[in-house]
Amino acid sequence: MKLAVKLIAFVALAAALLVAGYWWGASRPLTSAAKASRVVSADGKPERKILYYRNPMGLPDTSPIPKKDPMGMDYIPVYEDEESASADAAVKISIDRIQKLGVRTEQVCMRELSRTVRAVATVQADERRLHIVAPRFEGWIERLHVNTTGQAVRKGDPLMDVYSPDLITAQHEYLIARRGTRDVEDGGLEVQAGMERLTESALQRLRNWDISGADLKTLQQEGKFTQSILFRSPVSGVVLEKRAIQGQRFMTGEMLYQIADLSRVWVLADVFEQDLATIQRGQTATIRVEAYPDKVFPGEVTFIYPTVTPETRTASVRIELPNPQGLLKPAMYGKVEFVSTQRKDRVLAVPESAILDAGTRQSVLVDLGEGRFEPRLVKLGKHANDYVEVLDGLKAGEMVVVKANFLIDAESNLKAALSSFARSSQDLVLGEEGERGRIASGSSGTVPLSPSPSSSSHRGEGIIEAIDVANTIVTLAHRPIASLGWPAMVMDFKVLDPALLRTLKPGQKVAFEITEASPGEYVIVRIQPQAEAVAAHGKKH
């Protein structure tokens, strides 16, 4: 009886302890670990958050939602814990390999970015210093004093002797008016004033026809007209164009000479539209021409033309400069350099060679030391003289790879490809040992069925679609290959031993073995008709 009472009391005490423990545990706030452990899926396993889906072939392509690649393979989910683990991963390369690749690094530092814009240009005459000789009367050219293109003239130099009936008539009118003024000296004031007006009107008519002051002075002093008038140059310069011919009849307003003052010239530079923002009026520029390679001509930007040429996507920028010696001639080709400072303050910058540009994103390789390199996404700003501004992703003092970074990036892509196929998370260490384990593409003879130390083999079955004997390529419509996670598809495979193709023909059902010769590239090491493969497999067992 006493034993039964003790047993009942023990059971009651245990039940009380269980109730108290349950109440105490339920009343306590959950820790972060406890909360995480309570997030479970329907089958009782903890749920994992999917960040994105990556390409199953190791290509740098991701998707926020599930999808398939062009071969029908599903994209692989990347979970939050995998991303955090891989974020700290760095590409590791042996010291010997670094020396052979010629890797060179440079420190990230603050710089004052100045950009040099280069453009091709042509020399042209200053449009404001061009002059046309076009008489305002009709006549004939009796004699040419300037009869060659390119001849230099000074203002007032004789160009040609011209005969014009209109000029003779105007001279007669002037002389008659002047004689009449003398005849009415004893007349009234009104008559004298009228004759003086007629005299001045006849003289002004000759001035309006660009008759030089010296010729008019001779007419006034001598009081007799001339059959031909000497037509003089209105400006100093060089004759760019001469249409006047001795004995030629010319009409009113017809161009006979084009004269340009080349003491100051224009240089029109064709600047690409993406560089226009760096060009400002008043900015200095330097010009070089092929004719004088040892000379540099300084000039000033005076105008930026408001239109862009659609064919070349360039806009013209006008530079003016003095040309006292006449070295620069119209239509000469030249090269122009504009030096502009992007910002007056110093900014964080790296060499442009350090940038790995994937189109939608840019990255650099940060040297962590001891052969470890970390890819880092960066946000870029202005480009100037082989340097680029870094807005985010780096800090001053870090070392970035500026030479052979594309080779290191290729090694990093190789690591991603191997991880996707072998599902391995090991770091890639490239050195001499790894190179000796690669499959030589020029090997011949029978390739062993057993997996090699550098790559495992995978078995498959399919039907031959086509055979390219010249290139040792066979097209197979193969069934799913479970060891690689491949679905059924049609693919081209390289065959290492050309002798394997001698007994094969399109339409045959075959069994084959493939191995990875290079990242993402699989080759056939053995292939035979399916019936023979089944028989050989039966003998082994």
**pLDDT tens per residue across all 541 residues of the chain:** 455 555 565 556 655 555 455 455 444 444 333 333 344 444 555 567 787 787 765 555 677 788 877 767 777 887 766 544 444 456 777 777 777 778 888 888 888 777 788 999 999 999 999 999 998 888 999 999 999 999 999 998 999 999 888 888 888 788 877 777 776 666 667 767 777 788 778 788 888 877 777 777 777 777 777 778 888 888 899 999 999 999 999 998 899 999 999 999 999 999 999 888 889 899 999 999 999 989 999 999 999 999 999 999 999 999 999 998 889 999 999 999 997 755 557 888 888 888 888 777 888 888 888 788 888 889 888 777 788 888 988 888 898 988 877 777 666 655 554 444 443 333 333 333 333 333 333 333 333 333 344 567 888 899 998 888 878 888 989 888 888 878 888 888 888 888 888 888 888 999 988 988 776 678 898 888 877 655 555 554 4
**Are 104 and 66 contained in the same domain?**
no
431-469 in b/e form (b: 16+ CB < 10 A) is beeeeeeebeeeeeeebeeeeeeebebbebebbbeebee
Q: How many domains does the chain have?
A: 5
Pairing of strands 228-232, 158-163: antiparallel
Domain boundary residue, one of 395, 422, 449: 422
Say if 21 falls within a structural domain.
Answer: no
**Are 81 and 98 contained in the same domain?**
no
Q: H/E element holding 142?
A: strand 139-144
Say if 125 falls within a structural domain.
Answer: no
Sheet strands (E) in 312-447: 314-322, 333-341, 347-351, 356-357, 362-369, 372-384, 387-392, 399-403, 429-430
Measured in degrees and rounded to the nearest 5, phi and psi for residue 323 equal: -140, 60
For residue 413, the one-letter residue type is N
Say if 334 falls within a structural domain.
Answer: yes
Say if 44 falls within a structural domain.
Answer: yes
Q: Taking the alpha carbons of 72, 73, 74, 78 in that order, is the dihedral positive or negative?
A: negative
**Are 336 and 307 contained in the same domain?**
yes
Pairing of strands 158-163, 139-144: antiparallel
Say if 119 falls within a structural domain.
Answer: no
**Are 187 and 247 contained in the same domain?**
yes
**Are 327 and 406 contained in the same domain?**
no
pLDDT for residue 388: 87
Domain, as residue range, for 323: 264-341
Residue 282 φ/ψ region, left for φ over 0, alpha for ψ in the -120 to 50 degree band, beta for the rest = left
**Are 331 and 363 contained in the same domain?**
no
**Are 39 and 100 contained in the same domain?**
no
pLDDT for residue 396: 87
Measured in degrees and rounded to the nearest 5, phi and psi for residue 164 equal: -145, 125
Q: Could you report the per-residue pLDDT of 317-365, keeping only the tens digit for each? A: 999 999 988 899 999 999 999 977 555 578 888 888 888 887 778 888 8
pLDDT for residue 411: 61
pLDDT for residue 486: 83
Say if 306 falls within a structural domain.
Answer: yes
pLDDT for residue 263: 92
pLDDT for residue 436: 36
**Are 246 and 139 contained in the same domain?**
yes
pLDDT for residue 453: 46
Domain boundary residue, one of 322, 341, 360: 341
For residue 296, the one-letter residue type is V
Domain CATH code at residue 199:
2.40.50.100
pTM for the predicted model, two decimal places: 0.48
CA distance 205 to 227: 17
Domain CATH code at residue 294:
2.40.30.170
pLDDT for residue 186: 66
pLDDT for residue 332: 94
**Are 149 and 246 contained in the same domain?**
yes
